[in-house]
A and B are shown apart, each in its own frame.
Chain A
Amino acid sequence: MVITEQHKKMIDIYDLYNKMECNNIMLSFKGDITSELMTSILQIMESRLENMGEDPKIKKKVYNVLVECLQNLYHHIDEEPDIEDTIPNGNKSAIFMIGISPSGYTIMTGNYIKTDKVSSLGQRLDKINSLEPDALKALYKEVLNNDIVSEKGGGGLGMIDIARKTGQKLDYAFSEVNNEFSFFSLNIKVSQ
């Protein structure tokens, strides 16, 4: 049998489906992160967690982490106006996935970031990961109270909050795309 281009595409879809199935993906999205999209994702996830009869405590944690992750992506994309010029097939899109397993939920995000910001972000995340809960709480309060606020109200608290609420290390990686941009992947677990 000759495999046509069209046939290959069909295999790709099945392949993609299987990959998602293996990772127990409940919801995934790739594209522009807009305010409306975030509202929809949050509504969908909230009603799914509700329908699954999830423990209110876990439900709240997952919801909180989702909000911070989505808003990180949203604000970050805003900050990189020239990304379209240098990324192959470039656009401002990001990837966002939520998986479920017996041990809990996994929230995965991926977005482009300027390579020159990689080391400072990495250092910040390593610092968060090095802290015990009490020290993390102290850092949270310090950053909350430091008067440094971005234009829209963020202030570097998101990642600290995620680490505090999940009680787990932030699992992340950078992949270099070209001289100017890298891809930042973040994998967050909320345990049952």
Chain B
Amino acid sequence: MESIVIEGTPKTPSVNFDSESGVLQLRGRSIPENSIEFYKPLVEWLDEYAGKPQSKTAVNIQLEYFNTSSSKCLLDLFKKLEVMHKNGSDILVKWYYEEDDEDMLEAGEDYQSIVNVPFKMIETED
């Protein structure tokens, strides 16, 4: 299957979902007015990937900002990962947050408590 590579904009994150390596990355800002439009292809991609995943899937979420409409879409992605995890897939979500950004850490912990997928919180220097 094809990988997804999308460049970031001031309102949308850069995306690199690599089906060969099993590394899925979201970086930057996610504050679009219409999040569903942006995330729908990503959720669909993940659906397809879930059918034939790599032995290990690493999901790197390195967001500086995200709006509440993106937060529901992120949960949709995590729920797909949850199903994969349940089916025995080896998945680790690395949730990056900048030093002292307690809000971003807490947002990661919220997801961690909602979905049953291994999370690792990683602090980065500003």
Contacts and interface: CB of A to CB of B under 8 A. Distances in A.
Interface in A50-73: 56-57, 60-61, 63-64, 67-68, 71
Contacts of A71: 31, 33, 67, 69
Nearest to B36: A153
Contact count band on B:
20 to 34
B100 interface: yes
B86 interface: no
Interface string A138-171: 0011001100010111110110110001000000
B62 to A, nearest CB: 15
B68 A157 contact: yes
Contacts of A43: 10
B3 interface: no
B98 interface: yes
Interface in A116-139: 137
B68 A158 contact: yes
Contacts, number: 78
Interface of B: 10-11, 31, 33-37, 39, 65, 67-73, 75, 98, 100-104, 106, 110, 113-114, 126
Contact of B11 (A39, A64, A157): A39
Nearest to B68: A157
Contacts of B35: 152-153
B13 to A, nearest CB: 14
A153 B126 contact: no
A153 B72 contact: yes
Contacts of B36: 149, 151-153
Nearest to A151: B36
Given A61-B103, A67-B31, A153 B70 contact: yes
Interface in A31-45: 35, 38-39, 42-43
Contact of B113 (A141, A149, A153): A141
A152 B103 contact: no
Contact of B110 (A63, A75, A137, A155): A137
